[in-house]
Amino acid sequence: MLVWRASSENILQEADFCVPVWRIAALLCYLLRALNYVHRVGSGFGARNGGSPGPEDDSIYPFKVETTPEEIEDLHRRLDQTRFFPSLEDCQFHYGFNSKYLEKVVSYWRNDFNWRKQVDKLNKYPHFKTKIEGIDIHYVHVKPKNLPEGTRALPLMMVHGWPGSFYEFYGIIPLLTEPSNPDDITFEIICPSIPGYGFSEAPHKKGFDGVCAAHIFNKLMKRLGFNQYYVQGGDWGSLITTNMAQLEPNAVKGLHINFAPPGQAGLLMMLSLFFGRRFPKLFGFTEHDVKRLFPSMQKLVIDSIRETGYMHIQSTKPDTAGRGLNDSPVGLAAYILEKFSTWTDPEFKNLEDGGLERKYSLDDLLTNVMIYWTSRCIISSMRFYKENFSKGLNQPHAKIPVYVPSAVASFPNELMHSPKLWVTQKYHNLKTYTPMARGGHFAAMEEPQLLAEDVQNFVKIVEKRKKK
């Protein structure tokens, strides 16, 4: 059963603040326990038909990505039967995925893309599965090959989001497990699939949100023998790893995220919105902050509405749209790859090919799509939005500050921008806030070198190998 692992004392041990705030944090911890866990005790998310998950089997076993001729034949048959529909003239990606470029993608997928070869690439790192809370959890676990004598690798869990997968991290894994600079820290990397994504089993009951995923991933790290570890994430991964730090502040040694959407709109945030454009230095705003935030109605409201239609669908009726995507590989690819275009650079909407091949290869993009297609996980991945948003945006854990040492890599083309002032309202022990030189939402896949360097810099500070 799901068990509350964090007490108010655990969280408060990491804090350095006055007694009244301790009391508030303790109350919030109690509310989080009451509202997010009590109703789930004894009802494992892997148990079907109201049954109990029973005693937990903590065994870990190897897993291998596989394919069959029948699977590939079925895909080709569906691709051959695609019914294309023309885009409007001169619309590029403004109406969504452009039909002319989609025909090119489908042709490459059908005639040139080698899924068997990509399966071999996926299996170049060790995969495992283990059952936690009744759910089969898939993860990639990469240990350094040539660890210098007298040194130890630091465990780092990296968590993906939607519509990504563990494959997003394949470019950054060697940079962190086999660093070229002898002064760099060597990491042992664990990349899990969120339950309902990729090769992790989907929950069978309602209510599985980011806090539940965080509980399971903390439990996974403990099962792997790590008493302390670092966590990193973007998109949903940033929420899950933040929740991990809230639940287990003594175990999570450091939190690094590359997605920090604006949190609760407190007084300081509201003042900065009213006066920050005229007095940017008063709030520590940079030129980039001003560009991303003002005019606030346009940048924070109208632009957000234009790019969040998918979120409204997935937060309300995910299964309806998901049924079609689960049955059509071309529909699935268009839905996913449009996000890799716009979320990488909003200016890519002005290009007929969506700029996709400027940052990624079709092989990598289609491999991510194939993980969704072959595992049939698109519906369960979309449900994660409903589970997180159906309770509203004002959940108790959203009010709890993070006191674990934290870092934010702020990529210039990220979907939502939070200046340092806003970030510190949530992350009270912020060690680094780095305005990155380039990049967007899928940082690990688009700019693995930049992200690896920022992770290194942050962990060196926490490990006291470098001054802040």
Active site residues: 235, 385, 441
Contact yes or no for 415/441 (Cβ under 8 A): yes
List the alpha helices (DSSP H) in 64-185.
69-80, 99-111, 115-122, 173-177
Contact yes or no for 13/250 (Cβ under 8 A): yes
- Cα 306 from Cα 94, distance rounded (Å): 10
- Cα 187 from Cα 264, distance rounded (Å): 34
CB atoms within 10 A of CB 259: 23
Contact yes or no for 254/230 (Cβ under 8 A): yes
DSSP at 4: -
- Cα 112 from Cα 96, distance rounded (Å): 25
> Which residues, listed in sequence order, are joined to residue 155 by a DSSP beta bridge?
188
List the alpha helices (DSSP H) in 173-266.
173-177, 210-223, 236-247
- Cβ neighbours for 29, distance < 8 A, ≥ 6 positions apart: 6, 7, 8, 11, 400
